Structure 1
Amino acid sequence: MSESSSTPTPLGAFLRDRRARMDPASFGFGGRRRTPGLRREEVAQRANISPTWYTWLEQGRGGAPSSDVLDRLANGLMLTAPEREHLFLLALGRPPAMKYSRPDHVTPRLQRVLDALPTSPAIIKTATWDVIAWNTAATRLLTDYSKLRREERNVLRLIFTNSVTRAAQDDWWNIARYVVGAFRADAARAGAGAEINAIVDELSRISPEFESLWRENDVAAHADGMKRLRHPEHGLIELEFSVFAVEGRPDLGMLVYNPATPDSARRVAELLSAQNDGSANP
């Protein structure tokens, strides 16, 4: 069958380009070749689809492939995560369904971004609201996550089971409702169904308030807003927060807090200064 394509589409051109980049010898395919890369029938074999169907895809014929076919093509062509997403966008006009995998750390570069905000508490949270990175200001004003066990570094667990965190919220009930709704949206978007069930079951047993809020089925956008904290020594601190996507990591979000008023900015500066001087409890 001819390797030429009469009317190449963006999808067909992408498939053909990736096919041409693959080394036949690495996959046990031999023989003399006029063109680089794998043959169409070899890609079809690796993807467990018919050679005719694969040829049609490269030629822009046969309609849109299913998600299952695209997954097999991505595996057969050994696509990276960004390449796999691009394949789905070309074929279906949407990214693939998320397959959630809980991250445990961030890159040193991303940690340096947090550390470059000395007076703004900032954290990196996962889609299930596990906190996996933070800066010094966050440990002073929010929670010293370094002193918590890994499983305790979760925003929902802190809100519903940690008495110190609860007491610091100026309007705990509305904060709790907002957190539950935003968590529901983030976790569902990331495809973290099993992880959602585990934490929901746990908190429903521990906290009747969480169980009640979860049953309301509210969904909240988590982009920006206000937070009011009551510090035992520095009083009321009003903060604005914004959530930023982490490029290439749809499962992560960076949450940054900034003082909302000059008075709150002064209180934050005093709190951080006192901590640095060692004159207050950490």
Structure 2
Amino acid sequence: MTPDSDPRALGAFLKARRSQLTPRDCGLPEPETARRVTGLRREEVARLAAISVDYYTRLEQGRVRASAPVLITLARALRLDDDQQRYLYELAGRADALPRRRRPAQRVRPAMRRLLAQLTTTPALVLGRRLDILAWNPAATALFTDFGDIPADRRNYLRLLFTNPAVRELHENWQHDAREAVAALRMEAAPDAADPDLSRLVGDLSVQDPDFRRWWAEHHVNTATYGTKHYTHPLVGKLTLDCDTWASPDGEGQRLMVLTAEQGTPSHDALLILTAWAAEDSHTNGTQKPEP
């Protein structure tokens, strides 16, 4: 047993859960006579989990430790939902072996979309896990690039910073900004280092860019939510913008990134000109692509 396991509590949970199920729930034939026990019998759970009755009995009695493969079959046999599975593994002291859940697709919260729609002269992005770009407004397109032309699986802030020439050249101090973005991803990825999409992103950029490979290996981290960005835009020239990010309150990891300039400064005036041109071009040509 591990220090964190609780064999008696595990046995009590198994017993309680099988009492909540009927043979019909688990695809077993209905008994022809009245049953003396509520729910499933131990023999039925053992059959469903492909283990011996003796072994299952000892599990309920807290006399043996369940292996990870047995926990998998028990979770399936007892029709456990995600929360119940996590509870089962924690009681068994095997939370480290909990099967990885498939994460749902990232969806932009309606409130975030409303904010984007209202920020008409302010570039703004919604960033998700791994700094994926989930949504943007026309002002962000005018500043950075047309995100609608980029395949959704490549639409990542860090990927664009390293591989998109237009985005890369936009940053006046690219090395500083790129290294800080790598550090932000490092910090965000710590609780979910086994994420296959993260591994794919890191692998791709490590192969393509030696700077990324070196900075990722340094394990530099930061949690900065604000700062100053210096851009050189091909249409309006130099821009000094304050970059602020606000986290969504639902804990899903979505953040609103907003770039602003102090009113009355050359950067503010240039930003107004840039977004006005973009809005006029979109209205005239109908080329603005909606976010997915």
Q: Tell which deviates more after alignment, 170-179 or 50-59.
A: 50-59
Partners of 2:172 and 2:232 within 8 A in 1:
no
Aligned 1:218-237 pairs, distance under 5 A: 218-222=219-223, 224-226=225-227, 228-230=229-231, 232=233, 233=236, 235-237=239-241
Q: Which amino acid aligns with 2:109?
A: Q
Name the counterpart of 1:22: 21
- Paired residue secondary structure (1:123): strand
Name the counterpart of 1:117: 115
Name the counterpart of 1:72: 73
Name the counterpart of 1:41: 43
Partners of 1:98 and 1:191 within 8 A in 2:
no
Could you tell me how far apart the structure 2 residues matched to 1:271 and 1:23 are? 69
Partners of 1:122 and 1:254 within 8 A in 2:
no
Q: Which amino acid aligns with 1:82?
A: D
Partners of 2:248 and 2:254 within 8 A in 1:
yes
The percentage of aligned residue pairs carrying the same residue is 28
Aligned 1:75-224 pairs, distance under 5 A: 75-92=76-93, 94=95, 97=98, 99=100, 101=102, 104-106=105-107, 110-118=108-116, 119=119, 121-127=124-130, 129-131=131-133, 133-136=134-137, 139=141, 143-184=145-186, 186-187=188-189, 189-190=191-192, 192=194, 195-214=197-216, 216-222=217-223, 224=225
Could you tell me how far apart the structure 2 residues matched to 1:82 and 1:10 are? 16
The two structures have a TM-score, normalised by structure 1, of 0.70
1:95, CA displacement in angstroms?
6.6
Decide whether aligned partners of structure 1 residues 89 and 175 sit closer, same or farther in structure 2, where only a CA change above 3 A counts. Answer: farther
Could you tell me how far apart the structure 2 residues matched to 1:21 and 1:219 are? 50
Partners of 1:98 and 1:189 within 8 A in 2:
no
1:243, CA displacement in angstroms?
4.2
- Paired residue secondary structure (1:253): coil
Partners of 1:99 and 1:191 within 8 A in 2:
no
Runs of at least 5 residues in structure 2 that lack an aligned partner in the other structure: 1-5
Decide whether aligned partners of structure 1 residues 269 and 167 sit closer, same or farther in structure 2, where only a CA change above 3 A counts. Answer: closer
Q: Which amino acid aligns with 2:155?
A: R
User: How many pairs align?
Assistant: 265
Could you tell me how far apart the structure 2 residues matched to 1:102 and 1:221 are? 25
Could you tell me how far apart the structure 2 residues matched to 1:220 and 1:21 are? 47
Q: Tell which deviates more after alignment, 9-18 or 160-169.
A: 9-18
Decide whether aligned partners of structure 1 residues 39 and 226 sit closer, same or farther in structure 2, where only a CA change above 3 A counts. Answer: farther
Could you tell me how far apart the structure 2 residues matched to 1:112 and 1:276 are? 24
Partners of 1:130 and 1:154 within 8 A in 2:
yes
Can you list the C-alpha shifts for 1:222-275, whole angstroms capped at 9, x where unaligned?
57343525263382111122445855xxxx521222457754996798479636
Decide whether aligned partners of structure 1 residues 54 and 98 sit closer, same or farther in structure 2, where only a CA change above 3 A counts. Answer: closer
Can you list the C-alpha shifts for 1:129-149, whole angstroms capped at 9, x where unaligned?
443x21436555555432211
- Paired residue secondary structure (2:35): coil
Partners of 1:99 and 1:192 within 8 A in 2:
no
Q: Which amino acid aligns with 1:86?
A: Y
Name the counterpart of 1:238: 242
Q: Which amino acid aligns with 1:205?
A: V
Could you tell me how far apart the structure 1 residues matched to 2:209 and 2:68 are? 39
